[in-house]
A = this chain, B = another copy of it.
Amino acid sequence: MTFTHPIIELEKAALERWCNGDPASFLEISAEDVVYFDPFLPTRLDGLDKLSAYYASLRGKIFAARHEMLDPHVQEIGTAAVLTFRFVSYGDNEGAAMRWNCTEVYRKQAEGWRIVQTHWSLTGQAA
């Protein structure tokens, strides 16, 4: 099954900017009450202010020469939509691939779809 959904396009556009060092891409489409997990942090971040401060510390430090969203899947529940996908990113010179699992929960607001929950983790890291 191949999914097409506006939030897949939003997510791909944000990832494209993210992989070129611009973390503002995700902040622009995250809600005030966003919560966030990634595998580098010792805890969850609660709220856009905390996520903004964290992402500011990453500005210019992120680069992927090539990246790909794998197998995106969307579940709609009223005005919520749950996007799950795997993601693979490569550094310069086709360096080691990093493989990720990602869950994004979007909420449809007056201004458009906004992320309320992000969870990034490394695929198979405990296998």
Number of copies: 2
Contact stretch, chosen from A18-26, A60-68, A99-107: A99-107
Chain A, 78-127, CB within 8 A of any chain B CB: 78-80, 82, 84, 86, 101, 103, 105, 107, 116-117, 119, 121-127
- CB contacts (< 8 Å) of A82 on chain B: these are 35, 80, 105, 116-117
Establish whether residues B119 and A101, one from each chain, have CB atoms under 8 Å apart when the complex forms.
Answer: yes
- CB contacts (< 8 Å) of A80 on chain B: these are 77-78, 80, 82, 105
27 contacts between A and B (CB under 8 A): A33-B75, A35-B75, A37-B84, A38-B126, A39-B124, A40-B126, A42-B124, A42-B127, A43-B123, A44-B73, A46-B73, A75-B105, A75-B116, A77-B78, A77-B79, A77-B105, A77-B116, A78-B78, A80-B105, A82-B117, A84-B117, A101-B121, A103-B105, A103-B117, A103-B119, A105-B105, A122-B125
The 5 closest A-B pairs by CB, nearest first: A121-B121, A78-B78, A39-B126, A77-B80, A80-B80
